[in-house]
A and B are shown apart, each in its own frame.
Chain A
Amino acid sequence: ETGVTQTPRHLVMGMTNKKSLKCEQHLGHNAMYWYKQSAKKPLELMFVYNFKEQTENNSVPSRFSPECPNSSHLFLHLHTLQPEDSALYLCASSQERRFRGGYTFGSGTRLTVV
Protein backbone atom coordinates (compact mmCIF):
# COMPACT_ATOMS: atom_id res chain seq x y z
CA GLU A 1 0.00 0.00 0.00
CA THR A 2 1.28 3.47 -0.85
CA GLY A 3 0.39 7.01 0.13
CA VAL A 4 -1.01 8.31 3.39
CA THR A 5 -3.80 6.31 5.05
CA GLN A 6 -6.04 7.69 7.77
CA THR A 7 -8.46 5.74 9.94
CA PRO A 8 -11.26 5.95 10.76
CA ARG A 9 -12.81 7.94 7.89
CA HIS A 10 -15.70 9.07 10.09
CA LEU A 11 -16.00 9.33 13.86
CA VAL A 12 -18.84 10.45 16.11
CA MET A 13 -17.95 10.84 19.75
CA GLY A 14 -19.46 12.25 22.90
CA MET A 15 -17.78 14.98 24.89
CA THR A 16 -16.69 12.53 27.60
CA ASN A 17 -15.27 9.90 25.23
CA LYS A 18 -11.66 9.10 24.49
CA LYS A 19 -10.76 8.14 20.93
CA SER A 20 -7.70 8.09 18.67
CA LEU A 21 -7.10 8.97 15.05
CA LYS A 22 -4.46 7.02 13.17
CA CYS A 23 -2.26 8.00 10.24
CA GLU A 24 0.18 5.80 8.37
CA GLN A 25 2.51 6.69 5.48
CA HIS A 26 4.46 4.35 3.23
CA LEU A 27 6.36 6.98 1.29
CA GLY A 28 9.58 7.00 3.29
CA HIS A 29 8.92 10.59 4.36
CA ASN A 30 10.52 11.92 7.52
CA ALA A 31 8.03 14.64 8.49
CA MET A 32 4.38 14.22 9.45
CA TYR A 33 1.66 16.75 10.25
CA TRP A 34 -1.82 17.07 11.69
CA TYR A 35 -4.09 19.72 10.18
CA LYS A 36 -7.62 20.74 11.08
CA GLN A 37 -10.05 21.90 8.41
CA SER A 38 -13.19 23.70 9.50
CA ALA A 39 -15.78 25.01 7.07
CA LYS A 40 -14.76 28.20 5.25
CA LYS A 41 -11.47 28.44 7.15
CA PRO A 42 -7.88 27.83 6.07
CA LEU A 43 -6.26 24.55 6.90
CA GLU A 44 -4.92 25.01 10.42
CA LEU A 45 -1.62 23.41 11.31
CA MET A 46 -1.83 21.58 14.66
CA PHE A 47 1.37 19.56 15.09
CA VAL A 48 4.59 18.85 13.20
CA TYR A 49 6.89 15.87 13.68
CA ASN A 50 10.34 15.60 12.10
CA PHE A 51 12.12 12.26 12.48
CA LYS A 52 9.61 11.27 15.22
CA GLU A 53 10.33 14.41 17.26
CA GLN A 54 7.62 17.01 17.76
CA THR A 55 8.94 20.27 16.38
CA GLU A 56 5.82 22.36 16.47
CA ASN A 57 2.67 22.63 18.55
CA ASN A 58 0.57 25.41 17.17
CA SER A 59 -1.13 26.41 20.45
CA VAL A 60 -3.38 23.37 20.33
CA PRO A 61 -5.52 22.66 23.45
CA SER A 62 -4.32 19.79 25.60
CA ARG A 63 -7.46 17.77 24.85
CA PHE A 64 -5.60 16.92 21.61
CA SER A 65 -2.55 14.77 22.26
CA PRO A 66 -0.30 13.60 19.39
CA GLU A 67 1.93 10.56 19.38
CA CYS A 68 4.55 9.56 16.81
CA PRO A 69 6.03 6.14 17.67
CA ASN A 70 8.05 5.96 14.45
CA SER A 71 8.47 7.93 11.24
CA SER A 72 5.66 6.01 9.51
CA HIS A 73 2.89 6.33 12.09
CA LEU A 74 1.17 9.29 13.69
CA PHE A 75 -1.72 9.30 16.15
CA LEU A 76 -3.99 12.00 17.50
CA HIS A 77 -5.51 11.09 20.86
CA LEU A 78 -8.75 12.89 21.69
CA HIS A 79 -10.41 13.33 25.08
CA THR A 80 -13.11 15.60 26.49
CA LEU A 81 -13.62 17.37 23.19
CA GLN A 82 -16.08 20.20 22.56
CA PRO A 83 -18.69 20.46 19.78
CA GLU A 84 -16.58 23.20 18.13
CA ASP A 85 -13.83 20.59 17.63
CA SER A 86 -16.00 18.96 14.98
CA ALA A 87 -14.03 19.22 11.75
CA LEU A 88 -12.06 17.30 9.14
CA TYR A 89 -8.70 16.23 10.55
CA LEU A 90 -6.04 15.74 7.91
CA CYS A 91 -2.70 14.00 8.23
CA ALA A 92 0.12 14.80 5.81
CA SER A 93 3.71 13.78 5.26
CA SER A 94 6.68 15.25 3.41
CA GLN A 95 10.34 14.70 2.75
CA GLU A 96 12.00 17.53 4.63
CA ARG A 97 14.94 18.08 2.33
CA ARG A 98 13.24 17.42 -1.01
CA PHE A 99 10.21 19.59 -0.87
CA ARG A 100 9.31 20.17 -4.49
CA GLY A 101 5.92 18.48 -4.28
CA GLY A 102 4.92 19.73 -0.88
CA TYR A 103 2.85 17.46 1.26
CA THR A 104 1.02 14.21 0.60
CA PHE A 105 -2.28 14.25 2.43
CA GLY A 106 -4.48 11.46 3.68
CA SER A 107 -8.22 11.48 3.01
CA GLY A 108 -8.96 12.78 6.48
CA THR A 109 -11.14 11.79 9.41
CA ARG A 110 -14.49 13.57 9.60
CA LEU A 111 -15.01 14.09 13.35
CA THR A 112 -18.35 15.01 14.90
CA VAL A 113 -18.49 15.78 18.61
CA VAL A 114 -21.98 15.49 20.11
Chain B
Amino acid sequence: DQQVKQNSPSLSVQEGRISILNCDYTNSMFDYFLWYKKYPAEGPTFLISISSIKDKNEDGRFTVFLNKSAKHLSLHIVPSQPGDSAVYFCAASARETSGSRLTFGEGTQLTVNP
Protein backbone atom coordinates (compact mmCIF):
# COMPACT_ATOMS: atom_id res chain seq x y z
CA ASP B 1 0.00 0.00 0.00
CA GLN B 2 1.73 3.14 -1.22
CA GLN B 3 0.89 6.00 1.12
CA VAL B 4 2.48 8.78 -0.93
CA LYS B 5 1.89 8.90 -4.66
CA GLN B 6 3.17 11.11 -7.43
CA ASN B 7 1.07 10.13 -10.40
CA SER B 8 3.03 12.03 -13.03
CA PRO B 9 6.39 10.39 -13.74
CA SER B 10 7.46 13.33 -15.89
CA LEU B 11 6.65 16.96 -16.64
CA SER B 12 8.03 19.26 -19.32
CA VAL B 13 7.66 23.07 -19.23
CA GLN B 14 9.12 26.09 -21.01
CA GLU B 15 11.60 28.34 -19.27
CA GLY B 16 9.84 31.23 -17.52
CA ARG B 17 6.53 29.41 -17.19
CA ILE B 18 5.08 27.81 -14.05
CA SER B 19 5.85 24.21 -13.09
CA ILE B 20 3.27 22.43 -10.94
CA LEU B 21 4.18 19.10 -9.37
CA ASN B 22 1.49 17.13 -7.58
CA CYS B 23 1.46 14.64 -4.73
CA ASP B 24 -1.34 12.70 -3.05
CA TYR B 25 -1.27 10.84 0.24
CA THR B 26 -3.56 8.40 2.02
CA ASN B 27 -2.38 8.39 5.64
CA SER B 28 -4.39 10.92 7.66
CA MET B 29 -1.72 10.79 10.40
CA PHE B 30 0.79 12.59 8.18
CA ASP B 31 1.40 16.05 9.62
CA TYR B 32 4.55 17.27 7.91
CA PHE B 33 5.36 17.30 4.22
CA LEU B 34 8.57 17.94 2.34
CA TRP B 35 9.81 18.26 -1.22
CA TYR B 36 13.25 17.08 -2.27
CA LYS B 37 15.10 17.68 -5.51
CA LYS B 38 17.51 15.15 -6.98
CA TYR B 39 20.05 15.64 -9.76
CA PRO B 40 21.62 12.61 -11.47
CA ALA B 41 24.53 11.07 -9.53
CA GLU B 42 23.64 13.09 -6.41
CA GLY B 43 21.52 12.41 -3.35
CA PRO B 44 18.18 14.20 -2.85
CA THR B 45 18.43 17.68 -1.34
CA PHE B 46 15.77 19.31 0.81
CA LEU B 47 13.80 22.01 -0.98
CA ILE B 48 10.80 23.15 1.04
CA SER B 49 8.43 21.84 3.70
CA ILE B 50 5.01 22.53 5.16
CA SER B 51 3.32 21.65 8.42
CA SER B 52 -0.27 20.45 8.43
CA ILE B 53 -1.32 23.54 10.39
CA LYS B 54 -0.62 25.64 7.28
CA ASP B 55 -1.99 25.54 3.76
CA LYS B 56 0.82 27.43 2.03
CA ASN B 57 4.53 27.97 2.43
CA GLU B 58 6.61 30.12 0.12
CA ASP B 59 10.37 30.35 -0.36
CA GLY B 60 11.50 32.46 -3.29
CA ARG B 61 10.39 30.85 -6.54
CA PHE B 62 9.05 27.78 -4.72
CA THR B 63 5.62 27.54 -3.10
CA VAL B 64 4.04 24.44 -1.56
CA PHE B 65 0.27 24.22 -1.17
CA LEU B 66 -1.45 21.73 1.13
CA ASN B 67 -5.10 20.68 0.83
CA LYS B 68 -5.74 18.46 3.84
CA SER B 69 -9.32 17.63 2.97
CA ALA B 70 -8.20 16.31 -0.42
CA LYS B 71 -4.97 14.83 1.00
CA HIS B 72 -3.13 16.61 -1.76
CA LEU B 73 -0.11 18.84 -1.97
CA SER B 74 1.55 20.61 -4.84
CA LEU B 75 4.82 22.36 -5.53
CA HIS B 76 4.78 25.45 -7.72
CA ILE B 77 7.95 26.76 -9.30
CA VAL B 78 7.70 30.15 -10.94
CA PRO B 79 9.41 31.20 -13.06
CA SER B 80 10.89 27.85 -14.05
CA GLN B 81 14.57 27.78 -15.01
CA PRO B 82 16.59 25.14 -16.91
CA GLY B 83 18.58 24.49 -13.70
CA ASP B 84 15.36 23.30 -12.08
CA SER B 85 15.43 20.21 -14.31
CA ALA B 86 15.67 17.33 -11.83
CA VAL B 87 13.62 14.59 -10.17
CA TYR B 88 11.33 15.95 -7.44
CA PHE B 89 10.28 13.71 -4.56
CA CYS B 90 7.38 14.38 -2.26
CA ALA B 91 7.75 13.03 1.31
CA ALA B 92 5.56 12.91 4.39
CA SER B 93 5.94 12.12 8.05
CA ALA B 94 3.62 11.42 10.99
CA ARG B 95 5.71 12.94 13.73
CA GLU B 96 3.41 11.98 16.61
CA THR B 97 3.51 8.27 15.79
CA SER B 98 6.62 7.72 13.68
CA GLY B 99 8.97 10.51 14.65
CA SER B 100 11.23 11.55 11.81
CA ARG B 101 10.53 8.57 9.57
CA LEU B 102 9.80 9.79 6.02
CA THR B 103 7.63 8.09 3.40
CA PHE B 104 8.50 9.07 -0.17
CA GLY B 105 6.64 9.16 -3.46
CA GLU B 106 8.02 7.77 -6.73
CA GLY B 107 9.32 11.09 -7.96
CA THR B 108 8.51 13.31 -10.95
CA GLN B 109 11.14 14.13 -13.57
CA LEU B 110 10.86 17.85 -14.38
CA THR B 111 12.43 19.11 -17.58
CA VAL B 112 12.58 22.87 -18.15
CA ASN B 113 13.29 23.69 -21.79
CA PRO B 114 15.20 26.87 -22.70
Contact = CB atoms under 8 A, between A and B. Distances in A.
Given A40-B9, A42-B4, A90-B44, A103 B106 contact: no
B96 to A, nearest CB: 12
Most chain A beta-carbon neighbours within 10 Å: one of B9, B100, B103, B107: B100
Interface string A79-114: 000000000001010101001111111111000000
Interface of B: 2, 4, 9, 32, 34, 36, 41-46, 49, 89, 91, 93, 95, 99-107
Contacts, number: 60
Contacts of A41: 106
A45 B103 CA distance: 8
A31 interface: yes
9 contacts: A9-B41, A40-B106, A42-B105, A42-B107, A45-B102, A94-B100, A102-B91, A105-B36, A108-B43
